[in-house]
Amino acid sequence: MAQNKKNESVLLIINLITQFFVETFVGLAIGYFGGKYLDQWLFGDKDLFVYILSLLGLLSGLVNLIRRVMKNIDGGDQHEKEDEHH
């Protein structure tokens, strides 16, 4: 039983890391290409929106990671309390 919980924890961590990298990469890519398009359309050769939107993409990946970790921490405590009563 303890080995199963350990395997579940390892898989949860791998899942969180994978989701973080995928979401962050997608956010950065959308921010970069969207910013490049806006910069060419509005400013010509300046890279203002590339930096701003890339940073927002990175921050969105971090915020999603924190939300998932907090949700799993809260959910994990709740499941442990339910197991104690059964």
pLDDT in tens, 37-83: 999 999 888 889 999 999 999 999 899 989 988 888 877 555 445 55
- Which pLDDT score is estimated for 10? 87
Kindly list the distances between the CA atom of residue 35 and the CA atoms of 25, 30, 52, 84, 86, in Å, as whole numbers in the listed order.
15, 8, 8, 52, 54
Is residue 5 in a domain? no
Q: Kindly report the pTM of this predicted structure.
A: 0.70
Write out the residue range of the structural domain in which residue 41 sits. 18-85
- Which pLDDT score is estimated for 1? 58
Is residue 11 in a domain? no
How many structural domains does the chain have? 1
Is residue 60 in a domain? yes
Is residue 1 in a domain? no
